[in-house]
Amino acid sequence: MQIGGLTFTIPAGSFRVNNKGKFTFEGVLSGVSVEAKITPLGGARYELKLEAKPLNVSGLTNPVATQVVIGNDSGSATVTAKFE
């Protein structure tokens, strides 16, 4: 996952499917607590929500360019991030 200039690599096999069909990951990557949820929306579309903390987001401004790569599949979007 790439968000602006920040990159997260979630190890293969780390996502779990919950009872609602969402793929979830919770763990620590490079000292950052990361929660990621991928929800199938149908029609080969997915929603990704990512929360990471503590994280230095100085230099990031909205809108933010993002990219997700899973195996041979990838997607990108420009999103409005919520910085807290």
Q: How many residues does the chain have?
A: 84
- The whole-model pTM stands at 0.80
SS3 53: strand
List the chain domain ranges.
2-79
57-66 pLDDT, tens digit per residue, is: 888 889 999 9
40-81 pLDDT, tens digit per residue, is: 999 988 898 989 898 888 888 899 999 999 888 888 999 998
Burial of 72 (0-12, 13-18, 19+ CB in 10 A): exposed
pLDDT of residue 41: 94
